[in-house]
Amino acid sequence: MADTRLDPVILTADLLRCPSVTPEEGGALVLLQTVLEAAGFECHRVDRNGTANLFARFGPKGHARSFGFNGHTDVVPIGAEADWSHPPFDAVREGDWLYGRGATDMKSGVAAFVAAAVDMVQTAPPDGAIILAITGDEEGPATDGTVALLEWMEAQGEAMSVCLVGEPTCPETLGDMIKIGRRGSINAQITVAGKQGHVAYPHKAQNPMPAMAALADRLSRHVLDEGTAHFDPSNLQITAIETGNPASNVIPARSEMRLNIRFNDLHSGASLDAWLQRECAKVAAVHGVQIACETRISGEAFLTAPGAFSDLIAAAVAQHTGLQPILSTTGGTSDARFVQRHCPVVEFGLVGHRMHEVDERVSCQDIQGLTVIYSDILRRYFEG
């Protein structure tokens, strides 16, 4: 009998040829919908505010055992195309390497799960449901992607019992790391208002820089925490201090500072906002200036406590790689920060150190290996 399984490497290449730079859909979700509907999945486009999203389900709606997968097909811009060895949307293969924007992050992960899911429903249909929630907004503002999918699912009575996010999680080798949580992230823009004047007549001006320097030093030296059992210490990084003042003989009218805090589950976005506001008020009182602090929380810290779900994934990884994966919360944010409010969520995917680079590429052998692991995860889940 001929092998009718979906080839995840070919599917990855087909997805790479879709120029889906955020917020463009580029044909990627159209392709996936075609593949999934042909395999018997019920599909719905859940587009919102120009962002393309795809929901797909095989099996009964509302089943108590619904395995979910979350991923994205949008990619970051290519940069200078002349710097690429191969055109970034041509999906050129050289030996084991498949080149293209999104090869690592994360069209290969989506292709691997789709191939695993299609194989299962065609050969051993699960006693339950398989749900895919694929967005085109993970690399962008992330306001109308996975968030829109989850809100639509709630309104439609659709639910995932557990969810696997297929982001690249492995630092060096397929199987060396699983993400069971993520740090939170808060951005702040702090403005110190002064009064412009001539440097020779400081009494006629009010220099905002001493207050800004004091505040920057105070925030940088503060130890937020020492870390927890599953999280590294929280850290604050100042990313810019600007005055917009090109002259050396002018006291600037204002100074602006931008910073980011990556925080663990000892904090919340609200508690850190309150702390920043208090620190600004203290420095403002000492220096006699006005300080305004505006914050934006891009995600709260969360943890899926080690247990049955992470054990199941770790067992499948160990079975096929020979590695015992580290359970980690390191790295940046992902859409798991939204999914964790819906159901238990764990992340596992390919090696990620080439994502977003010029000449982004993925190992075809790793794509095949990830597909085998995803297939085993599905089998283990539905076999109980």
Residues annotated catalytic, as ranges: 74, 138
251: Cα separation from own chain's centroid: 42
Cβ atoms of residues 362 and 98 within 8 Å: yes
Q: How far is CA 285 from CA 207, 253, 275, 293, 382, in A?
A: 15, 18, 16, 15, 61
82: CB partners within 8 A, 6+ apart: none
Cβ atoms of residues 143 and 50 within 8 Å: no
Reduced to 3 states (helix: H, G, I; strand: E, B; else coil), residue 290 is: strand
Cβ atoms of residues 237 and 289 within 8 Å: no
Cβ atoms of residues 236 and 222 within 8 Å: yes
Q: How far is CA 292 from CA 86, 112, 219, 245, 276, in A?
A: 48, 48, 15, 19, 10
| CA–CA separation, 318 and 325 (whole Å) | 7
| CA–CA separation, 356 and 361 (whole Å) | 10
Q: Dmax over Cα atoms in the chain, in whole Å?
A: 90
